[in-house]
């Protein structure tokens, strides 16, 4: 992203997609905390996912125009969890998913889903948004870890120029 676009974005209020990604991160974090998501194929039933999504929106106010996108991200990540986690493992073979911080792991899942299965989000945007989420909700090292991992995911999946 060029510097001018980045400066402009910093002065704007977060849009509905940013709110949606934050909400999706919170729902996925909760599901991961309660059910230890592993991406090995033995994951949650759709009813469990629906309960988590509805529980989030019942207790927290989110951007109304971001809710549909947040719900789609959560459902999409969960539907493709095995493939998403495999892509993350391939990009970062020295880190087991269960050893990653829960925030980092779920930020990576959101952006990987958006890049590989979401269709309409350019890889650069997905990475930039994920780095922002990692910076806001993760540790001091999260942003650079997320950036490096997602850059490799995007390259392996043919979503970035080499």
Q: Residues 147-155: what's their mean pLDDT?
A: 96
pLDDT higher at 34 or 116:
116
**CA 30, 34, 38, 39 torsion-angle sign:** negative
* pLDDT of the residue at 21: 95
Per-residue model confidence (pLDDT) at position 135: 97
Predicted TM-score (pTM) of the model is 0.85
Q: What is the mean pLDDT of residues 43-59?
A: 84
CB of 22 closer than 8 Å to CB of 133: yes
Q: Pick the residue with more confidence: 162 or 141?
A: 141
**Does 76 have pLDDT greater than 90?**
yes
- In CATH terms, 16-156 corresponds, of 1.10.940.10, 3.40.50.300, 2.60.120.260, 3.40.50.880, to 1.10.940.10
Whole-number pLDDT of residue 16 = 84
The 3-class secondary structure across 84-110, one letter per residue, is HHHHHHHHCCCCCHHHCCHHHHHHHHH
Task: State the pLDDT confidence band at 9, using cuts at 50, 70 and 90.
Answer: very low
Mean pLDDT of 28-35: 87
pLDDT at 118: 84
């Amino acid at each position: 992203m060029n510097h001018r676009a980045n400066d402009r974005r910093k002065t704007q209020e977060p849009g509905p997609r940013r709110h949606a990604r934050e909400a999706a991160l919170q729902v996925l974090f909760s599901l991961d905390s309660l059910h230890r998501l592993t991406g090995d194929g033995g994951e949650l039933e759709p009813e469990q996912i629906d309960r988590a999504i509805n529980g989030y929106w019942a207790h927290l106010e989110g951007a109304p125009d971001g809710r549909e996108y947040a719900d789609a991200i959560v459902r999409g990540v969960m539907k493709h969890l095995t493939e998403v986690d495999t892509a993350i493992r391939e990009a970062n073979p020295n880190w087991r998913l269960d050893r990653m911080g829960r925030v980092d792991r779920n930020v990576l899942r959101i952006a990987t889903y958006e890049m590989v299965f979401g269709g309409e989000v350019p890889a650069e945007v997905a990475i930039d948004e994920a780095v922002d989420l990692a910076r806001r909700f993760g540790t001091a090292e999260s942003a650079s870890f997320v950036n490096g991992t997602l850059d490799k995911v995007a390259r392996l999946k043919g979503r970035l120029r080499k």
